[in-house]
Amino acid sequence: MILGNSRLAGWDWSRPAASGRGGDTRITATQRRGYSACARRSLVAAGVVLGTALLSSPAEAAASTAGSYTSGGRKILIDEYPSAKPGTRPAIILLHGSAGLLFPGLDLKKRASALSAQGYAVFVPHFFNRTGQIMVRPSGVHDNLPAWTATVRDAVTYVAAQPNVDANRIALMGHSLGGYLGLAAAAQDGRIDAVVEASGALDKTGVTRMPPTLILHGAKDTTVPVAKAERLEALLLKTGAPYQKHIYPDEKHVLSREAMRDATQRIDRFLAKYFPADSRS
The reply to whether 281 falls in a domain is no
Does a structural domain hold residue 186?
yes
CATH number of the domain encompassing residue 197: 3.40.50.1820
pLDDT digits (tens, 9 = 90+) for 50-61: 433 333 334 344
How far apart CA 26 and CA 29 sit, in angstroms, is 10
Whether 98 maps to a domain, the answer reads: yes
One-letter amino acid for residue 145 of the chain = L
At 4-22, the pLDDT tens digits run 344 444 444 444 444 444 4
> Is residue 95 in some structural domain?
yes
Average pLDDT over residues 10-36: 45
Number of domains the chain contains: 1
Examine residue 146 and state whether it is found in any structural domain, yes or no: yes
| b/e code 211-234 from CB counts within 10 Å (16+ = b) | bbbbbbbbeebebbbbebbeebbe
What is the pTM for the complete model shown? 0.80
The mean per-residue pLDDT over the stretch 221-227 comes to 94
Q: Is 255's pLDDT higher than 70? A: yes
- Residue 221, classed as helix, strand or coil, is coil
pLDDT tens-digit map of 122-159 = 999 999 999 999 998 867 788 999 999 999 999 999 99
Is 17 a member of any domain?
no
Which residues form the domain of 173?
Answer: 6-12+25-274
* 256 belongs to a structural domain: yes
Question: Residue 30 contacts by C-beta under 8 Å, 6 or more apart in sequence?
Answer: none
**Distances from the Cα of 235 to the Cα of 31, 33, 50, 194, 241, angstroms:** 40, 41, 24, 15, 9
Residue 240 pLDDT exceeds 50: yes
Does 142 fall in a domain? yes
